[in-house]
């Protein structure tokens, strides 16, 4: 990969986020859509230099997700050093994610491949939390918030599942099921009196357990010990959510 082009993209993206701070909140979703479009165009352009690259829409999910949410997140972080994180952080994360996508096309070094997969996995859950927090903060009607949660969960579950297996009908079916189940979970949460942090964390715990079980199921490794592990994670997550609701 020509890292110079990737650095230029990250720099342009960071400058665009700086400009977003001068815009009104009503314009930010449309600005995010424009940045997501830029990311979708840039990803195949940057990845095509790999000899084994073939176009795959799932490789655009994370870059587009980062770009779409970044203007809203930058505004939410407020003034001071946290706002600087909101401006410079997404550009650095976009750089790392696209580089990780490149390294996972046809891995030659297991160490780099494992590190790239770890970064993509952590970014998926981080992006999921960002969207869940934004959706829960807006507190729209369940039809709207549930649809948004379903769309985000479907796409991110699809990227997580395709880290282990090809982009086939079975993978798409499980990702669609994840989106539907998350919408069903978001519907009652919308009526509970929870803080934004607690609501977002509750959705994240549900998403993590759901996708984790699906990955084990598709790999043929689902066993009682694995289910017990995820039940333990669920209980620990509920404790964290309860603590966050008291803040």
- 116-126 average pLDDT score: 94
pLDDT in tens, 20-51: 888 888 899 999 999 999 999 999 999 988 88
DSSP category for residue 203: H
CB atoms within 10 A of CB 73: 22
pLDDT in tens, 207-218: 999 999 998 888
Q: Which residues contact 153 (CB under 8 A, 6 or more apart)?
A: 128, 178, 179, 182, 183, 207
Q: What pLDDT, on the 0 to 100 scale, is given for residue 40?
A: 93
Does the predicted TM-score (pTM) go above 0.85?
A: yes
Higher pLDDT, 80 or 166: 166
Best CA proximity match to 203, nearest among 21, 194, 102? 194
Cβ atoms of residues 218 and 236 within 8 Å: no
Q: What pLDDT, on the 0 to 100 scale, is given for residue 115?
A: 92
Between the alpha carbon of residue 124 and those of residues 29, 99, 196, the distances in Å are 20, 15, 20
Q: Of 100-109, 118-127, 194-203, where does the model show the most confidence?
A: 118-127
DSSP category for residue 140: -
pLDDT in tens, 61-94: 999 999 999 998 888 876 667 778 888 889 999 9
CA 246 – CA 197 distance, rounded (Å): 10
Task: Give the mean pLDDT of the chain.
Answer: 87
């Amino acid at each position: 990969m020509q890292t110079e082009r990737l650095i230029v993209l990250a720099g342009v993206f960071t400058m665009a986020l700086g400009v977003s701070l001068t815009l009104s909140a009503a314009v930010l979703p449309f600005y995010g859509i424009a940045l997501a479009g830029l990311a979708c165009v840039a990803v195949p352009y940057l990845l095509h230099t790999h000899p084994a690259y073939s176009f795959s829409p799932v490789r655009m999910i994370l870059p587009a997700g980062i770009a779409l949410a970044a203007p809203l997140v930058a505004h939410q972080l407020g003034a001071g050093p946290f706002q600087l994180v909101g401006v410079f952080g997404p550009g650095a994360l976009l750089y790392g994610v696209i580089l990780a996508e490149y390294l996972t096309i046809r891995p030659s070094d297991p160490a780099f491949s494992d590190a790239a997969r770890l970064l993509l996995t952590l970014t998926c859950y981080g992006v999921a939390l960002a969207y869940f927090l934004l959706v829960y903060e807006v507190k729209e009607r369940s039809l709207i918030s549930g649809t948004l949660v379903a769309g985000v969960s479907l796409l991110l579950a699809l990227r997580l599942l395709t880290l282990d297996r090809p982009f086939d009908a079975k993978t798409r079916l499980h990702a669609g099921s994840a989106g539907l189940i998350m919408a069903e979970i978001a519907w009652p949460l919308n009526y509970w009196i929870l803080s934004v942090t607690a609501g977002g964390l509750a959705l994240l715990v549900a998403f993590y357990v759901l996708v984790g079980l699906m990955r084990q199921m598709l790999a043929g490794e689902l066993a009682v010990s694995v289910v017990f592990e995820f039940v333990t994670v669920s209980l620990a997550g509920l404790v964290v959510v309860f603590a966050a609701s008291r803040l």
